[in-house]
């Protein structure tokens, strides 16, 4: 009797079917992970922009506003919304020469927040960036953000 080495066609087909089943289970989790990383990256960019705007306002002793195009939909379907302390949407955020948070009309605000979420992911999770009156930036995860 001959001793054959290798796989039969049936064994190969079973391995391919099991691999396909495992991939179909893993794909949704990977998509959610990828979306969360995009939201986290966008939050990092907004925090960096806010901190840089505050530093430039203090160094230049003049008000600095963030670009309105930052506040809207940015790459890969991630949405950025700026709000004042009362929950109303605002067009831009900025800082005065003392590093205090100001709104569109250079009026000092009590606080402001930026919500980052993915409208096409069912609003399961997002990031909230809160800017205090004195310009301190804090970020946190939020469930079911209102985008």
Q: Does domain 9-143 have CATH number 1.10.579.10?
A: no
* pTM score: 0.70
pLDDT reported for residue 52: 85
Name the strands in the sheet holding 73-74, side by side, starting at the edge strand that comes first in the sequence: 73-74, 78-84, 111-117, 125-132, 137-143
Which residues have a Cβ under 8 Å from the Cβ of 102 and sit 6 or more positions away?
63, 65, 93, 94, 95, 96, 108, 109
pLDDT reported for residue 16: 94
pLDDT reported for residue 21: 92
**Where do the structural domains in the chain lie, given as residue ranges?**
9-143
Q: In DSSP terms, which residues pair with 131 in a beta bridge? A: 112, 137
pLDDT mean values, one per 10 residues, the chain (147 residues): 78 93 85 83 84 87 73 63 70 80 68 74 74 83 74
């Amino acid at each position: 009797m001959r001793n054959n080495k290798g796989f039969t066609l049936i064994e190969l087909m079973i391995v391919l079917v099991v691999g396909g089943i495992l991939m179909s289970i893993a794909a949704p989790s990977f998509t959610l992970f990828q979306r969360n990383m995009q939201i986290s990256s966008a939050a990092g960019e907004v925090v960096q922009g806010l901190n840089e705007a505050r530093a430039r306002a203090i160094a230049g002793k003049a008000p600095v506003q963030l670009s309105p195009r930052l506040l809207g939909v940015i790459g890969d379907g991630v949405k950025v919304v700026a709000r004042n302390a009362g929950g109303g949407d605002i067009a831009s955020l900025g800082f005065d020469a003392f590093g205090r948070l100001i709104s569109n009309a250079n009026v000092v605000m009590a606080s402001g927040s930026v919500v980052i979420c993915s409208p096409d992911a069912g609003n399961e999770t997002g990031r909230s960036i809160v800017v205090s009156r004195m310009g301190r930036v804090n970020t946190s995860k939020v469930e079911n953000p209102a985008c």
